[in-house]
Amino acid sequence: MATVTFDGASRYYAGNDKPAVDQLDLEVEDGEFLVLVGPSGCGKSTTLRMLAGLEGVDEGAVRIGERDVTNLPPKDRDIAMVFQNYALYPHMTVADNIGFHLKIKKMPKAERAERVLEAAKLLDLEPYLERKPAKLSGGQRQRVAMGRAIVRRPQVFCMDEPLSNLDAKLRVQTRTQIASLQRRLGVTTIYVTHDQVEAMTMGDRVAVLKDGLLQQCDTPIGLFGRPKNLFVAGFIGSPAMNLIPATVNGDGAVIGGQPIGLTPAQREALTSPNVVVGVRPEGWTLKPAGEGIGAMVEVVEELGSDQFLYCSTSAELTAADASEAADESEAPHTITVRAPGMSAFQRGEKVGLVPQPGAVHLFDAETGDRLPD
């Protein structure tokens, strides 16, 4: 087992002005499950491939434990990779696929069979050891790819969106199995996904990337509860955090007539009079019309255990009010609110919205950075 360290690591591609990964500083602890998450093109897969040796490192260094592996070939890095398409050999049985690397390493046949059986037991693949990949379901193929990585007993697992080819139900089931298996094995794991729900449910820590830059690396609770900037606030959480622009004047900001107070430290940190007020869907208290921020329910999503109300404040403003609003605090907004499942709210119903104490996040509109508490 080992730590993984990216020390100012950058990767440039020909024809692009910006690096795909830009001065990445990140340390993964021994035995940790770290998830790299972000939108398409943010550099998360490139980061993983730099660690695996499948992409070069143009600046900085990559270390596994105390070894600098920046210029080592992939075979000398002691890592095992699980790919998005599983990369199984179609003409080999499950047992042969799992044990292929051990065969290449000329491990004795008896020891190889013992390791393959051990991995098969861990992954519930014993009944399928003599089958070919074509006779397996998508979830079973994914477990074979995992088994092939496990038998190598590497220092680091690298997983590049291994669940993206599975259907939604199987993806939920399999991500639980992978997280549980990793904790049993205790192998340092770096896992790439574009699905922030997957990231939040699996990782010990989650690193959020955008345009090749690390935005924040924290526990799932830390990311959700204290997003470092507007990008993280909008990316983490489903549905996304409501981000409402407002102007600071007098004692604080105002949204739809609802005052939002700012501390002296927050005022001092502001670089302009403009702030963005963030409130997650579950951070609102629903009130009768006439209290708090006036809004109208435009869409109701009923999920059984929860209900999501998509409310518009524009219904509470006349056309003249909206066009003559002195600042963004009185402009119309769409606000998502989480309500208890099977609630009686109807489309077209007028409601009042009040942010709950402690549920308000404030960001500098110019820099996008979180304001101090």
Q: What pairs with residue 296 in β-bridges?
A: 312, 350
Q: In DSSP terms, which residues pair with 293 in a beta bridge? A: 353
**Which of 77, 40, 41, 38 is CA-nearest to residue 57?**
77
- Tokens standing for 178? 């992978």
**Are 229 and 241 within 8 A, CB to CB?**
no
pLDDT tens string, the chain, 373 residues long: the values are 699 999 999 999 988 889 999 999 999 999 999 999 999 999 999 999 999 999 999 999 999 999 999 999 999 999 999 988 888 999 999 999 999 999 999 999 999 999 999 999 989 899 999 999 999 988 899 899 999 999 999 999 999 998 888 888 888 888 888 999 999 999 999 999 999 899 999 999 999 999 999 999 999 999 999 999 999 999 999 899 999 999 998 778 888 778 898 999 999 999 999 999 999 999 999 999 989 899 999 999 999 999 999 999 864 443 334 444 444 445 678 999 999 999 999 999 999 999 998 999 999 999 999 999 8
* Neighbouring-strand partners of residue 6: 26, 62
**Domain spans of the chain, in order of start:** 4-231, 240-364
Alpha carbons 275 and 283: distance in angstroms, whole number: 18
What are the angstrom distances between the C-alpha of 173 and each of 97, 132, 180, 308? Answer: 23, 23, 11, 25
pLDDT for residue 174: 86
> For residue 373, what pLDDT is reported?
85
Longest alpha-carbon distance in the chain: 82
| pLDDT value, residue 320 | 36
Cα(266)–Cα(273) distance, integer angstroms: 11
- CA nearest neighbour of 151 among 83, 82, 74: 82
How far apart, in whole angstroms, are the C-alpha atoms of residue 132 and residue 91?
A: 7
pLDDT of residue 327: 47
Please give the CATH number for the structural domain made up of 4-231. 3.40.50.300
Spatial separation of the C-alpha atoms in residues 210 and 190, rounded to whole Å: 17
Rounded distance, CA 93 to CA 91, Å?
7
Query: What pLDDT, on the 0 to 100 scale, is given for residue 168?
Result: 84
Length of the chain: 373
240-364: CATH architecture: Beta Barrel (2.40)
Q: According to the model, what pLDDT value does residue 1 have?
A: 66
Q: Determine the Cα–Cα distance for residues 96 and 103; give it in Å rounded to an integer.
A: 9
Q: What is the DSSP letter of 35?
A: E
pLDDT of residue 309: 96
Q: What is residue 187's predicted lDDT score, i.e. its pLDDT?
A: 94
Q: Give pLDDT, residue 164.
A: 85
The answer to pTM > 0.85 is: yes
